[in-house]
């Protein structure tokens, strides 16, 4: 198979399968361009990828090993008259740094040796800090005690020894009062590794954001399933609290007084439209605006950190804009403005790749481009030479930022980094009736000078972690290394050997810290590129996907300004096959694509399933409700108490 030769002529060659590159690939292929899509890696999505636990361990190992520059081969024999050869970077990606792994789960179910180090730790990389040996010894002692206590631990399932057994710093006294929980060992994480889909980048999809709109518009959405983020949480005064953001939440909230509820609803109503009063605050901090609204500390915290998700010095107009965006997204698909793809974010670029392939795009992983052939006169890239020395001509070349040599980059602005942490924990940060919550958690700076942290907690039903665990992603703009930036938050909010007085917090079984280059720093204009070569940056720090989608659209429109960006793919059920020529009509042929236009799925209209009957009629109203809902508030103020009472009786 692998011996098969690639065709030697394409309209667009794309190197890298991150989100922006994949959207570009789908967009070009969809309008009939011949696309070759390559990635040097053996997996899709680059820094946007999701890995099983085992694949993540491999990824970590690969990044620990000093990446060997590939031998630079001399392809100058392939040069033609008037051409110049430009080599791409042969180094592995330098976009990931400061990898640190900590394993707090015991190594084996029954084994007593060295429970606190993973294979990677033992690999002896200097970047990996091992948990102090003394502590791991303690942990062993405790485990022994617990087991001596008579817990029947013959089967993994029956191994009901207490969680504290693996918690070196917890005293035996405390452990007695804790509820019994199943203990998950490192061996189990590995065994159940395929149940994990661990995202390198942590983002959510705004339900009215550009990615959701694009998925619906292009029909790429049919390749994926999504779940609602079920709640917004925030960390405040050492506690995790739920942020009431939808009307239902506000009424149901127990933390808010009736007065606060009224104030909040009135505020949310008033900020939907821009007022003179708001304009007066332009240029001044949003915090100041909020203060002057006399909302009280509670509401001010919620509005600033969890709804607007801005910092204390963000200007008012910006704060209001993100508040409005939040409110607009609220209620399209659920009680929060966010969706998350089942199986992880890495699915999304792959879905666009599938769309590209369906329209004829050719895919080849583990395959790279080693150099570009430039026409000296026109400063255009005429062809690329792939890693096997094949000359492939192309009209345009799109490449992931990480594959481009440093000599092409103008190092005017130093690369910014994101700090990331991934935790596997044994319980939710805020236990509730349902154990299948997907939570967005905003953590304001825990001390002056610390970054604000965005945290997403995923439950097993998102198909990103094994049953009995939660997957927690932390992200912030980096000030130091990921460990320096994020471990203080982890230590405060979770139980690790370093944390104190955290009996009720979730126990961290395993965690990973790393820094990733922040893609938002990159703008294509700043580089000395041939004029038909386009750069796609890696993931940015934003919570949504706006940056990548915007970038992809900009590249597409620069190359094909006349063409539509990702028009809807025909629904397979609507394609009519013509018996005479034995081939289906295909888009572009303009033949018998019945129903394509009429059926252009907007995606959001139909509700199917058991609850269909009641829902369908309410559907249109629902769409309006986001705005309408808030406006209605004035009238129903008097009903607040009533509704609240009825809610309480229901409970």
Partner 1 sequence: MYFACDLCIPSSYKSGEYPVFLFSMSMEDYDYLFKIVLIGNAGVGKTCLVRRFTQGLFPPGQGATIGVDFMIKTVEIKGQKVKLQIWDTAGQERFRSITQSYYRSANALILTYDITCEDSFRCLPEWLREIEQYANNQVVTILVGNKIDLAEKREVLRQRAEDFAESQSMLYLETSAKESDNVERLFLDLACELIQEAKQNKLDNNDTAPMPGEGKTISYLSCCNLN
What 3-state DSSP class applies to 63? helix
CB of 356 to partner 1, least distance (A): 9
Binding residues among 303-332 for partner 1 as defined by CB under 8 A: 331-332
335 is a contact residue toward partner 1 (CB under 8 A): yes
- Comparing CB distances to partner 1, the nearer of 319 and 568 is 568
CB of 91 to partner 1, least distance (A): 23
CB of 338 to partner 1, least distance (A): 11
What DSSP character marks residue 286? H
Residue with token string 């620990």: 64
Binding residues among 233-262 for partner 1 as defined by CB under 8 A: 246-248
Task: Name the CA dihedral angle for 605, 606, 610, 615, rounded to a multiple of 10 degrees.
Answer: 30
CB of 648 to partner 1, least distance (A): 16
609 is a contact residue toward partner 1 (CB under 8 A): yes
Binding residues among 401-430 for partner 1 as defined by CB under 8 A: none
591 is a contact residue toward partner 1 (CB under 8 A): no
CB of 347 to partner 1, least distance (A): 5
Task: Using CB under 8 A, pick the residue from 60, 189, 215, 465 that binds partner 1.
Answer: 215
CB of 601 to partner 1, least distance (A): 5
Q: Binding string to partner 1 for residues 367 to 406, with x set by CB under 8 A, is what?
A: x---------------------------------------
- Comparing CB distances to partner 1, the nearer of 391 and 615 is 615
Strand partners, 569: none
- Comparing CB distances to partner 1, the nearer of 91 and 622 is 622
353 is a contact residue toward partner 1 (CB under 8 A): yes
647 is a contact residue toward partner 1 (CB under 8 A): no
What DSSP character marks residue 66? P
Task: Using CB under 8 A, pick the residue from 527, 587, 644, 647 that binds partner 1.
Answer: 587
CB of 106 to partner 1, least distance (A): 26
Residues in the chain: 651
Round to whole Å and give the CA distance between 59 and 636. Answer: 55
Binding residues among 458-477 for partner 1 as defined by CB under 8 A: 460-463
Token duo for residue 254: 């127990």
161 is a contact residue toward partner 1 (CB under 8 A): no
Q: How many residues sit in the footprint of partner 1 (CB under 8 A)?
A: 85
CB-based burial of residue 622 (10 Å sphere; 0-12 exposed, 13-18 middle, 19+ buried)?
middle
CB of 1 to partner 1, least distance (A): 6
DSSP string computed for 460-481: GGGTSS-TT-EEEEEEEE-SS-
Angle between helices 19-30 and 210-218 (to 10 degrees): 30
Task: Name the CA dihedral angle for 583, 584, 585, 587, rounded to a multiple of 10 degrees.
Answer: -120
Q: Where are the beta strands (DSSP E) in 88-152?
A: 96-103
629 is a contact residue toward partner 1 (CB under 8 A): yes
Binding residues among 50-79 for partner 1 as defined by CB under 8 A: 52
Q: Are 541 and 13 in contact (CB under 8 A)?
A: no
- Comparing CB distances to partner 1, the nearer of 69 and 360 is 360
Binding residues among 527-556 for partner 1 as defined by CB under 8 A: none
- Comparing CB distances to partner 1, the nearer of 577 and 634 is 577
CB of 376 to partner 1, least distance (A): 32
- Comparing CB distances to partner 1, the nearer of 334 and 506 is 334
> Of the candidates 432, 407, 400, 434, which has an alpha carbon nearest to the alpha carbon of residue 548?
400
Q: Are 422 and 518 in contact (CB under 8 A)?
A: no
DSSP string computed for 267-285: HHHHHHS--HHHHTTTTSB
285 is a contact residue toward partner 1 (CB under 8 A): no
569 is a contact residue toward partner 1 (CB under 8 A): yes
Phi, psi (rounded to 5 degrees) for 475: -140, 140
Task: Using CB under 8 A, pick the residue from 363, 452, 503, 640 that binds partner 1.
Answer: 363
Task: Using CB under 8 A, pick the residue from 102, 226, 470, 514 that binds partner 1.
Answer: 226
CB of 94 to partner 1, least distance (A): 25
Q: Are 520 and 536 in contact (CB under 8 A)?
A: no
Token duo for residue 591: 């033949």
Q: How many CB atoms lie within 10 A of CB 15?
A: 24
Within 8 A by CB and 6+ apart from 6, the residues are 36, 362, 364, 386, 390, 392
- Comparing CB distances to partner 1, the nearer of 270 and 571 is 571
């Amino acid at each position: 198979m692998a011996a098969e030769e690639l065709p030697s002529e394409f309209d667009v060659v794309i190197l890298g399968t991150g989100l922006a590159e994949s959207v570009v690939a789908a967009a070009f292929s969809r309008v009939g361009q011949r696309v070759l899509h390559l990635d040097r890696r053996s997996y899709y999505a680059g820094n946007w990828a999701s890995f099983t636990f085992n694949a993540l361990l491999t990824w970590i190992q690969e990044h620990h090993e000093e990446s060997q520059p590939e031998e630079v081969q001399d392809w100058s024999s392939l040069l033609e008259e008037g051409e110049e050869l430009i080599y791409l970077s042969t180094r592995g990606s330098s976009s990931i740094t400061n990898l640190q792994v900590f394993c707090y789960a015991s190594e084996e179910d029954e084994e007593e040796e060295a429970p606190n180090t993973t294979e990677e730790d033992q690999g002896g990389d200097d970047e990996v800090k091992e948990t102090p040996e003394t502590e791991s010894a303690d942990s062993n002692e405790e485990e022994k005690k617990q087991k001596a206590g008579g817990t029947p631990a013959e089967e993994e399932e029956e191994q009901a020894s207490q969680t504290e057994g693996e918690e070196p710093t917890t005293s035996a006294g405390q452990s007695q009062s804790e509820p019994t929980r199943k203990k998950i060992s490192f061996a189990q994480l590995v065994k159940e590794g395929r149940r994990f889909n661990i995202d390198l980048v942590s983002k959510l999809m705004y339900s009215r954001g550009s990615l959701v709109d694009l998925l619906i518009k292009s029909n790429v959405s049919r390749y994926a399933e999504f779940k609602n983020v079920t709640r917004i949480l925030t960390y405040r005064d050492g506690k995790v609290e739920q942020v009431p953001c939808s009307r239902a939440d506000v009424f149901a909230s127990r933390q808010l007084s009736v007065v606060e509820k009224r104030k909040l609803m009135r505020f949310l109503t008033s900020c939907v439209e821009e007022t003179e009063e708001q304009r007066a605050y332009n240029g001044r901090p949003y915090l100041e605006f909020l203060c002057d609204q006399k909302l009280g500390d509670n509401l001010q915290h919620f509005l600033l950190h969890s709804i607007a998700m801005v910092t204390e010095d963000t200007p008012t107009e910006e704060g209001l804009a993100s508040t409005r965006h939040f409110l607009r997204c609220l209620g399209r698909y659920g009680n929060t403005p966010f969706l998350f793809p089942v199986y992880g974010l890495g699915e999304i670029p792959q879905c666009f790749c599938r769309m590209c392939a369906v329209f004829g795009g050719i895919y080849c992983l583990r395959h790279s481009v080693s150099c570009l052939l430039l026409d000296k006169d026109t400063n255009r890239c005429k062809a690329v030479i792939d890693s096997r020395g094949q000359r492939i001509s192309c009209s345009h070349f799109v490449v992931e930022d990480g594959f481009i040599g440093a000599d092409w980059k103008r190092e005017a602005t130093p690369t910014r980094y994101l700090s990331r942490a991934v935790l596997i924990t044994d319980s939710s940060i805020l236990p509730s009736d349902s154990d299948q919550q997907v939570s967005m958690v905003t953590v304001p700076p825990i001390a002056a000078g610390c970054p604000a942290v965005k945290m997403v907690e995923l439950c097993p039903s998102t198909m990103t972690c094994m049953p009995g665990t939660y997957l927690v992603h932390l992200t912030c703009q980096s000030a130091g290394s990921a460990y320096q930036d994020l471990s203080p938050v982890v230590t405060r909010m979770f139980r690790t050997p370093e944390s104190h007085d955290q009996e009720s917090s979730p126990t961290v079984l395993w965690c990973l810290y790393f820094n990733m280059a922040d893609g938002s720093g990159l703008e294509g204009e700043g580089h000395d590129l041939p004029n038909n070569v386009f750069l796609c940056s890696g993931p940015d720090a934003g919570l949504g996907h706006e940056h990548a989608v915007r970038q992809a659209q900009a590249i597409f429109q620069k190359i094909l300004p006349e063409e539509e960006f990702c028009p809807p793919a025909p629904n397979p059920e609507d394609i009519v096959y013509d018996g005479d020529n034995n081939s289906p009509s295909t888009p572009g042929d303009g033949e018998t694509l019945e129903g394509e236009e009429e059926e252009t799925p907007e995606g959001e209209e139909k509700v199917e399933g058991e609850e269909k009957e009641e829902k369908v009629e309410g559907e249109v109203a629902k769409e309006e409700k986001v705005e309408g809902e808030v406006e209605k508030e004035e009238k129903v103020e008097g009903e607040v108490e009533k509704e609240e009472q009825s809610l309480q009786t229901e409970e």
